[in-house]
Amino acid sequence: MSKLFGTDGIRGVANRYPITPEIAMRLGKAIARTFKATGHGSQRALIGKDTRLSGYMLETALTSGLVSAGMDVFLVGPVPTPAVAQLTSSMNADAGIMLTASHNPYDDNGIKIFDRQGFKLSDALEEEIEAHVLSGALENDHIRSAHLGKAYRIEDARGRYIQYAKGSIGNQSLAGLKLVLDCANGAAYQIGPWIFRELGAEVIKAFAEPDGYNINNGCGALHPEAVAQLVRRHGADLGVALDGDADRVIFCDADGRVVDGDRVLAMCALDFKARGHLVHDTLVVTSMSNMGLHEAMRRHGIQVVTTDVGDRCVIERMRSGGFNLGGEKSGHIIFMDYATTGDGLISALQVLRLMKVRQRSLAELAACIEEYPQRMVSLPVPVRKPLEEMPRTAELVEACRAELGENGRVIVRYSGTEPKLRILVEARDAATAEGWVERITAAARGEAVA
């Protein structure tokens, strides 16, 4: 067996290593052993999942492993990833486990683990759990029947999270706003519509009929064109497109124009600063955020801290610096005052609250930044060949950097969750960005795919 954890938990094709029932059962035992060893825990774990068919398989196997090692298990069913994080903390569990492959197709699945505070596990804890799984030494013969754990189905888990999410905007009335909510046939298909309806908004729900196979299929945050079309058809004020586990969100305005994470971060940072609510007047973003965002924040006296790609990197920097707002262009927005991870529903509530309070359209709010033209290609690759072994690609990347100087940038990196090479070029004019992306992609296709 090889390494389990990647940049965002464990992920792969369902029923193939490492996403198998055998590994899931061993993982349950390993989680129990790791957290029981602390000696001060509740000996409880909480398990949620998205709507993939393989979730049943993994949920059952994980539960068996956990209870066989003496841990009780709270089963909360299909809920968003941030709900698992919040419920883990509020229900005093040692660990929260979310079964999801996020924005990936239904055939994939994954396992994300949170600590008792609702944060993703540290590298040290992941390594300890992984070592237990890979060692093969996880027998529980010493645990007799009287000391086995129990499994409980928590029927009101969704209601608990709905109340919590609404409280993040103080139950502000959203009456008068009309939105199309694309649930990606995923984890928020039940919770999402109720949150906005209970606050008075008119909700047109879309892609909220999961069948185990259709999660993220032509819908959700990766396909905002779907919700944009529905917004125009229904004359809605905005569209809200979640991904499969609802930890990220992409918007579109009333005209169907996409409003990504950078624009949401900018409008919320400006609002927070105006209200004296932006801690240290600082926003945390990743290296993928548009240069236009940086320029807009400088104009308003807001410092921007940049991290490596990944919401985990953003959260770690926010925690170390005590910051309360950060996120990614891809739609992971972290409101640390209310959530310990990216939360698509709380992000949408913040945007709707801002529209309501300011009496401005999403398009007007999103105009706070002027983005540089940006072009990105995701190139499927059979293996992650080191970039230094791709001389023509490296040569073109350096030539691009030299030409752009301070008027643009180029980033070439492997995805942390998919077998893809990301190639991004940003420049002051679209033709330059497009030209360089085409040249670098052609070279990479010849060197990385060959």
pLDDT of residue 37: 67
Q: Decide if 114 contacts 85 (C-beta within 8 A).
A: yes
Residue 2, exposed/middle/buried by CB under 10 A (0-12, 13-18, 19+)?
exposed
- Between CA 141 and CA 324 the distance in angstroms is 46
- For residue 277, give Cα distances in angstroms to 63, 95, 258, 333: 41, 31, 27, 16
Lowest mean pLDDT among 84-88, 138-142, 320-324: 138-142
**Residue 441 backbone zone (phi > 0: left; psi -120 to 50: alpha; other: beta):** alpha
pLDDT digits (tens, 9 = 90+) for 267-314: 999 999 999 999 999 999 999 899 999 999 999 999 999 999 889 999
Query: In whole angstroms, what separates CA 214 from the centre of its chain?
Result: 19
Q: Which residue has the higher pLDDT, 123 or 250?
A: 250
Strands 282-286 and 258-259: unpaired
Q: What is the mean pLDDT of the chain?
A: 94
Residue 138 pLDDT greater than 90, yes or no: no
- Between CA 73 and CA 66 the distance in angstroms is 7
Q: What DSSP letter does each residue of 357-380 carry, written as one string?
A: HHT--HHHHHTT--PPPEEEEEEE
pLDDT digits (tens, 9 = 90+) for 365-418: 999 999 999 899 999 988 888 888 899 999 999 999 999 998 899 999 888 777
pTM as predicted: 0.90
Could you tell me the two tokens for 135? 């060692």
Query: Is residue 41 very low, low, confident or very high in pLDDT (cuts 50, 70, 90)?
Result: low
Query: Is residue 445 very low, low, confident or very high in pLDDT (cuts 50, 70, 90)?
Result: very high
- Between CA 62 and CA 65 the distance in angstroms is 5
pLDDT digits (tens, 9 = 90+) for 98-127: 999 999 999 999 999 999 999 999 999 999
Integer Rg of the chain from CA? 22
- The catalytic residues are 102
Query: Is residue 419 very low, low, confident or very high in pLDDT (cuts 50, 70, 90)?
Result: confident
3 state DSSP class of 170: coil
CA angle 349/352/354 to nearest 5° reads 110
Q: Which residue has the higher pLDDT, 292 or 2?
A: 292
3 state DSSP class of 78: strand
Could you tell me the two tokens for 21? 């029932």
Q: What DSSP letter does each residue of 229-292 carry, written as one string?
A: HHHHHHT-SEEEEE-TTSS-EEEE-TT--EE-HHHHHHHHHHHHHHTT-SGGGEEEEETTS-HH
Taking the alpha carbons of 308, 314, 316, 320 in that order, is the dihedral positive or negative? positive
Residue 39 pLDDT greater than 90, yes or no: no
Lowest mean pLDDT among 41-55, 74-88, 205-219: 41-55
* Domains of the chain, start order: 10-155 (3.40.120.10), 160-250 (3.40.120.10), 259-366 (3.40.120.10), 374-448 (3.30.310.50)
Query: Is residue 143 very low, low, confident or very high in pLDDT (cuts 50, 70, 90)?
Result: confident
- Between CA 239 and CA 253 the distance in angstroms is 6
Residue 83 pLDDT greater than 60, yes or no: yes
pLDDT of residue 147: 87
Query: In whole angstroms, what separates CA 23 from the centre of its chain?
Result: 24
pLDDT of residue 40: 55
Helix and strand element counts for the chain (H, E): 14, 18
Query: Is residue 25 very low, low, confident or very high in pLDDT (cuts 50, 70, 90)?
Result: very high
First to last CA, the chain: 27
- Alpha carbon dihedral 301, 302, 307, 309, in 10-degree steps, equals -120
